[in-house]
Amino acid sequence: MNLPKLFNKGFPILLKGGLDADLGKFAKQAAAGELERTTDTDRVFIATTTADDTADASTVELVTLRPPVTITGDTELTVANHHGKVLYVDKATDVNLTYNSLEENFNCLIVQVGVGQAILVGTGNVHHPDDHDRTSAQDAMMTFLCKDATNAYIGGNTAAA
């Protein structure tokens, strides 16, 4: 479903109540201080609307948006720069993505845009049913999830060394 978007007083709002939601009522709630405001362009409000098209305050959530990252060379994955993001790996030769100090629940989606494969390298164990550790080919996508500091899992379009 396409969600309506409203930029009011410097913050975006997404409503999950449907396309006929009265955005003006929601904006009035925000202006009245019933909803937190932000001018941070990397955050967005998400709310479910009620029958009268106002935001259900119990469903309002402030979500941090994570813009994609383009990687063109060997890179150390970090929580600050890569957690929860789409990583576009774009190089004609293989790229090593090092994962040495990642936190529990670190995750990202790796997309191999270029010809070179994205290869996971680091301490700890990368679990895959077929012992894969890299993307399989151009246009491949691979998910990477750290269960804890020493165990990570991958899935998607993957390949072995």
User: 57 and 79 share a domain?
Assistant: no
18 Cβ contact list (under 8 Å, min separation 6): 1, 49
CA distances from 152 to 9, 70, 80, 108 (A): 41, 22, 18, 11
Range of the structural domain that residue 82 is part of: 69-159
Among 53-62, 83-92, 101-110, the range scoring the smallest mean pLDDT is 53-62
What is the pLDDT confidence band of residue 104, given thresholds at 50, 70 and 90? confident
Quote the pTM value: 0.64
User: 41 and 84 share a domain?
Assistant: no
User: 85 and 155 share a domain?
Assistant: yes
User: 123 and 154 share a domain?
Assistant: yes
Q: What gap in Å lies between CA 38 and CA 10, rounded to an integer?
A: 7
What is the pLDDT confidence band of residue 3, given thresholds at 50, 70 and 90? very low
- CATH number reported for the structural domain that contains residue 123 in this entry: 2.60.120.640
Residue 36 has pLDDT above 70, yes or no: no
User: 96 and 21 share a domain?
Assistant: no
Considering 64, 84, 112, which residue would you say is the last residue of a domain? 64
Residue 13 has pLDDT above 90, yes or no: no
